[in-house]
A = this chain, B = another copy of it.
Amino acid sequence: MAIDRFNILKKFFKKHRRLPSYSEMLSLFGFASKNAVFKLINRWVDEGFIKKYNKKLSPTPKFFALPLVGIIKAGFPILAEENKSYLTLDDYLIENPAFSFLLKVNGDSLIGIGIFEGDIVIIEQKKEAKNGDIVLAQIDNEWTLKILKKDRINRNIYLQAANPKYPNFFPQQELNIHGIVKAVIRKIN
């Protein structure tokens, strides 16, 4: 019932990317009085799904978040209420939206670390990377996604695949780092 209305609200947000106003909620929820909406919203505010700021409503992280359930343990019901936290994907994955972009992976050079053809990686643009970072780089004018290897004093820099069938790549002229991989995403089906 109440959760039914909350789903209606979620659907509205998914469609319009904003919360409805009180009068829009009138028809959404089938109320006749704005006061009914007022009381309903205040309950959700108390429960932490919605926040008020400057007399305007905004959803909290809890509003969007999916339950994150814990480790699978043999014989244990894992969906128990007590060990669940919440996670919002966009916030979780992208810390720096202004400097991030997505890259669709092609090739099998990183399968050893679980990055497959067709996967999407989140790249954060930066020119510096440390040993072991997965970098989007330009090596001798060729673009590639590889593991950066270098020692402490920045000598002996090269790129490494995570697939035994590829050799290491030593730059002949130059090696420019354009960004590093912050996350990997794979949609199944």
Q: Which residues of A contact B (CB under 8 A)?
A: 7, 10, 14, 16-19, 21, 24, 53-54, 56-60, 63-64, 66-79, 87-94, 97-98, 100-104, 106-107, 111, 114-116, 119-120, 122, 134, 141-145, 181-189
Q: Give the residues in chain B near A91, CB-CB below 8 Å.
A: 14
Nearest CB in chain B: distance from A91 CB, A: 8
How far is A71 from B120 in the complex, measured between Cα atoms in Å? 11
> Copy number in this complex?
2
Main secondary structure of the interface of A (DSSP, over half): mixed
Could you say which of A16, A134, A182, A186 has the most chain B C-beta atoms within 10 Å of its C-beta? A186
Cβ contact within 8 Å between B186 and A92 = no
Shortest Cβ distance from A116 into B: residue: B114
How far is A43 from B14 in the complex, measured between Cα atoms in Å? 24
Report 28 cross-chain contacts, Cβ distance below 8 Å, ordered by A residue: A7-B98, A14-B91, A16-B53, A18-B18, A18-B56, A64-B97, A66-B94, A66-B97, A66-B100, A66-B101, A66-B102, A68-B102, A70-B104, A75-B142, A76-B143, A77-B143, A78-B103, A78-B143, A79-B101, A87-B102, A90-B90, A111-B114, A114-B115, A114-B186, A134-B188, A183-B185, A183-B187, A184-B188
